[in-house]
């Protein structure tokens, strides 16, 4: 009953503040599970799955909340070509015994400071406070956690933080996104900007501070059914340099929708529909986030597994309409060849076709009709490892409306997918 009341309160609030949020002009690839075989076998035994994942500069080491604690996942070599994930539970400074679950964690880009939201009734300012721990290079471990103080924290809930520099941070304070700078003389934080953002559920910024990615409740919903199938969504805001403020919310094209399971299994409930805690790379081309999409029903245990899992997605087209290539270093190397669904699909103008390579390879990217007749070769030649995107415009080939095939061929694999052209 309490949950239902909270949901209706959110729906009422969304009716009051509902806006026609537009879809962002930038386009992201279809999200795929992050390293599911090597990582999830070790980490998804946690009751809540994985959430609030954060990394500094490479995907070989990252921190995340899951179950009762904050953890560190480190990729280590196993033999000449294989690897595995080592999962470490952080020390008692980060995970005090007998305290409620941490709500989030973020790492500074130089990997020297770890921030997290922890329960602070007996040691802070009430509710959930933001804390910071410095890396001790001598001990190779995290030091004593320090409360960020009454300017940053309140008696309410401070759940997320993003470090711009050692002396400047963004943090949410209840329903506000606040910018703080540290006074060099007093060493205390001072708030210099505040923006109302409703309830943020994780956020991060690009290095140039021009784009803010975040998750929030779907406050555009006006009915319980709509809200319950779209619990939380991913958004982006662009910095308005003229107004010196963040612009309107823009939906990302990768948000998931919950499903209504069979009434025998879970009557009157919705499974999935949560996309949260986006963590963007410095260049704004790679994003990690947690999601309850692809929930599955366990026939043996007779329950729906809708725990948060970690997903990765790549920028295909930026906000100016330019296609984007993502070049990954050795630590961020993709582990397999992947051909993404074209976007948009169906389409009546130009569509974007993207693929991922784990190493430099000679490739052929071609388009065929349903009879197997080749229409065009989009790419022929060697491409570096990473994610590559290309535009396809059927108007150049006088094609009629219908279903077409695009196919990626390498020396070891051929993958094909369908796309629908509406002339």
- Residues 292 and 379 both lie in one domain: no
Q: Are 411 and 361 in contact (CB under 8 A)?
A: yes
Q: Do 292 and 389 fall into the same domain? A: no
Please, are residues 316 and 352 in contact by the beta-carbon 8 Å criterion? Answer: yes
What confidence score (pLDDT) does residue 21 get? 72
Rounded to a whole number of angstroms, the distance between the first and last alpha carbons of the chain is: 50
Residues 265, 407 within the same domain? no
Domain span holding position 394: 351-421
Does residue 226 sit within a domain?
Answer: yes
Do 131 and 223 share a domain, yes or no?
yes
198 and 53 assigned to the same domain: yes
Q: Which of 399, 314, 302, 308 is nearest to 349 (CA)?
A: 399
Helix count and strand count (H, E) for the chain: 3, 33
Cβ-based burial of 400 (10 A; exposed 0-12, middle 13-18, buried ≥19): exposed
- Tokens 């900007």 correspond to 193
- 306, 368: one domain: no
Report how many domains make up the chain: 2
* Tens of pLDDT, residue by residue, the chain (423 residues): 433 433 434 444 444 344 557 899 999 988 888 764 444 444 444 445 677 888 887 788 889 987 788 999 888 877 766 777 888 899 999 998 877 778 899 999 999 999 999 887 666 777 889 999 999 999 999 999 999 999 999 888 899 999 999 999 999 987 889 999 999 899 999 999 999 887 889 999 999 999 999 999 875 555 555 555 667 899 999 999 999 999 999 999 999 987 766 655 555 567 778 899 999 999 999 999 999 887 776 666 666 667 788 898 989 889 998 888 776 655 455 567 889 999 899 999 899 999 989 888 999 999 999 888 999 999 999 998 888 888 899 988 989 999 999 999 998 889 999 999 998
Please state the pTM of the whole predicted model: 0.80
* Same domain assignment for residues 214 and 361: no
Task: State which H helix or E strand residue 3 sits in.
Answer: helix 2-17
């Amino acid at each position: 009953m309490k949950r239902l009341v909270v949901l209706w309160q959110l729906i009422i609030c969304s009716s009051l503040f509902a806006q026609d949020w537009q879809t962002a002009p930038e386009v992201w690839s279809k999200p795929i599970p992050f390293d599911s075989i090597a990582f999830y076998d070790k980490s998804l035994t946690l009751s809540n799955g994985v959430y609030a994942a954060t990394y500094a500069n490479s995907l070989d080491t990252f921190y995340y909340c899951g179950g009762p604690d904050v953890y560190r996942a480190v990729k280590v070599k196993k033999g000449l070509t294989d690897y595995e994930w080592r999962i470490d539970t952080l020390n008692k400074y980060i995970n005090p015994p007998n305290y409620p679950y941490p709500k989030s964690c973020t790492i500074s880009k130089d990997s020297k400071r770890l921030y997290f939201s922890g329960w602070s009734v007996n040691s802070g300012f009430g509710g959930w406070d933001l804390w910071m721990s410095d890396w001790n290079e001598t001990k190779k471990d995290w030091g004593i956690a320090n409360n960020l103080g009454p300017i940053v924290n309140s008696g309410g809930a401070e759940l997320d933080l993003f470090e711009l520099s050692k002396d400047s941070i963004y943090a949410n304070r209840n329903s506000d996104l606040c910018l703080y700078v540290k006074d060099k003389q007093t060493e205390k934080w001072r708030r210099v900007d505040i923006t109302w953002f409703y309830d943020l559920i994780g956020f991060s910024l690009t290095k140039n501070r021009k784009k803010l990615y975040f998750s929030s409740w779907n406050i555009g919903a006006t009915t319980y059914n709509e809200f319950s199938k779209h619990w939380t969504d991913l958004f982006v805001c662009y910095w308005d340099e003229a107004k010196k403020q963040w612009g309107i919310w823009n939906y990302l094209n990768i948000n998931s929708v919950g499903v209504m399971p069979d009434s025998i299994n879970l009557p009157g409930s919705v499974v999935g529909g949560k996309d949260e805690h986006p963590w963007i790379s410095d260049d704004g081309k790679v994003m990690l986030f947690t999601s309850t999409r692809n929930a599955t029903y366990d026939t043996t245990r007779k329950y729906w597994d809708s725990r948060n899992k970690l997903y990765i997605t790549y920028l295909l087209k930026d906000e100016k309409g330019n296609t984007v290539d993502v070049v990954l270093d050795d630590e961020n190397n993709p582990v397999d060849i992947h051909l993404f669904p074209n976007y948009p699909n169906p389409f009546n103008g130009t569509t974007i076709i993207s693929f991922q390579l784990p190493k430099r390879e000679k490739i052929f990217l071609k388009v065929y009709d349903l009879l197997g007749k080749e229409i065009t070769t989009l790419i022929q030649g060697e491409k570096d490892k990473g994610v590559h995107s290309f535009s396809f415009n059927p108007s150049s080939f006088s094609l009629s409306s219908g279903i077409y095939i695009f196919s990626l061929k390498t020396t070891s694999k051929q993958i094909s997918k369908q796309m629908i052209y509406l002339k």
